[in-house]
Amino acid sequence: MGLTLEDLNYVPEMPEKVKNIVIIGAGGIVTGSHLPAYKMAGYPVKGIYDLNYDKAKQAAADFDIPNAVEKLEDLIALGVKEDAVFDIAVPASKTASILRQLPDGAAVLMQKPMGESIGQAREILDICHEKNLTAGVNFQLRQAPYMIAARKLIADGVIGDIVDIDWRVVELHPWHLWSFLFGLERMEINYHSIHYIDCIRSFVGDPTNVYCKTMQHPKMTDLSQTRTSIIMDYGNVLRVNLHINHNHDYAPDYQESMMKIEGMKGAIRIQLGLILDYPTGRPDKVEYITDDGKGWRELEVKGSWFNEAFIGTMGGLMKKLEDPSYHYMNSVEDAYHTMCVVEACYKSNAEGGTPVEYGR
């Protein structure tokens, strides 16, 4: 038996009154995370569309969605009729063309990334502004219950001012689950580490510079990159480092999926269990330590990244529709800043490091 909304002790953003939803895309992320999260939250889904009509019909049958439609224009018409939020979950390169077909003034949540380049991200942002869309991007990790818990510890002053963030991922990732990733020029950062970049921004804001190297692995040459190192530069006090290796094919003993935040008075350590043995995952764990001499202790946090975090990205958008002055942390404007950091990472990777001069 899974968790219910009432079980969560750190709850993602939720509206006072839920709105209807229509979904464009019926792939694994929708059936595996969007729809289970919406069911838990009580968000009514009125219709679903996919290029593969059979997939849309199956999702509708599995989640009691009253309408599976064969044409995108029919889904859009249904969304208008139901005064629904449009939930777009398609490959990022297709997002802009769908946004252009939505009615002006619509509400829309789009799957990450926000396009596959900064040019596509600017196009998406411009469309949203031109059409006066209330729009968000599904960078849901910042809405995971354990990230909400960590943010509260920090806000309460438990660890003091943040001076160091380490993110380590060492595991063997099942990339075969996403066939569209094979052949992409930009892969690992755009479709994985982007979550970590975005989540770090939600804690400490925008970096001034980045240093990055992203690369292939000889055992996985069908993918453009599967290993990445990033330094996000916040000046001379705050150090932020990301160490990402998706090719650790040496038993599960030393796999890692961990974010560590150090402050002046203590530290927080989060194990993101989902990434270990994905998609089954292992248990999450939140621990913290302070300067009181009592050592590390565990903080009980119920709920995880998949699926509970997906409640907040949609719920926050619905709250924004209720109150236009509400600060929606997953807004398209904030997401654009994440895309700017990602673009800087690719630029740093292309330009290379400082040559070492070995001459005398």
Q: Which of 2-11, 93-102, 123-132, 211-220 has the lowest mean pLDDT?
A: 2-11
Average pLDDT on 265-289 reads 96
Give the pLDDT score at 299.
Answer: 97
Q: Are residues 282 and 157 in the same domain?
A: yes
The rounded distance, in Å, linking the Cα atoms of 313 and 240 is 25
- Domain annotation covers residue 314: no
Give the pLDDT score at 279.
Answer: 87
CATH number, domain at 240?
A: 3.30.360.10
Average pLDDT, the chain: 96
Give the pLDDT score at 1.
Answer: 42
- Domain annotation covers residue 237: yes
Q: 109 with 315: CB under 8 angstroms?
A: no
The rounded distance, in Å, linking the Cα atoms of 357 and 360 is 8
- Domain annotation covers residue 322: no
Among 111, 140, 169, the domain boundary falls at 140
CATH number, domain at 11?
A: 3.40.50.720
User: Which residues lie below 8 Å from residue 53, measured CB to CB, with a gap of 6+?
Assistant: 68, 70
- Domain annotation covers residue 330: no
Higher pLDDT, 52 or 359: 52
Residue 114 buriedness (CB in 10 A; 0-12 / 13-18 / 19+): buried
Tell me the β-bridge partners of 263.
Answer: 162
Q: pLDDT confidence of 243, banded at 50, 70, 90?
A: very high
Among 140, 175, 197, the domain boundary falls at 140
Q: How many domains does the chain have?
A: 2
Q: What are phi and psi of 208, to 5 degrees?
A: -90, -30
DSSP string, 14-83: --SS---EEEE--SHHIIIIIHHHHHHHTPPEEEEE-SSHHHHHHHHHHTT-S-EESSHHHHHHHHHHTT
Q: Are residues 174 and 190 in the same domain?
A: yes
Q: Are residues 110 and 78 in the same domain?
A: yes
Find the domain containing 245 and state its range: 142-303+340-354
- Domain annotation covers residue 311: no
- Domain annotation covers residue 95: yes
What percentage of residues in the chain have a pLDDT greater than 70? 99
pLDDT tens readout for residues 31-69? 999 999 999 999 999 999 999 999 999 999 999 999 999
Average pLDDT on 127-133 reads 98
Q: Are residues 29 and 133 in the same domain?
A: yes
Q: What six digits make up the tokens of 154?
A: 């920090």
Q: Are residues 84 and 194 in the same domain?
A: no
Q: What six digits make up the tokens of 35?
A: 């729809």
pTM here is: 0.95
Quote the strand ranges of 121-265, DSSP E. Answer: 134-137, 162-170, 209-215, 227-233, 239-245, 256-263
Average pLDDT on 334-358 reads 96
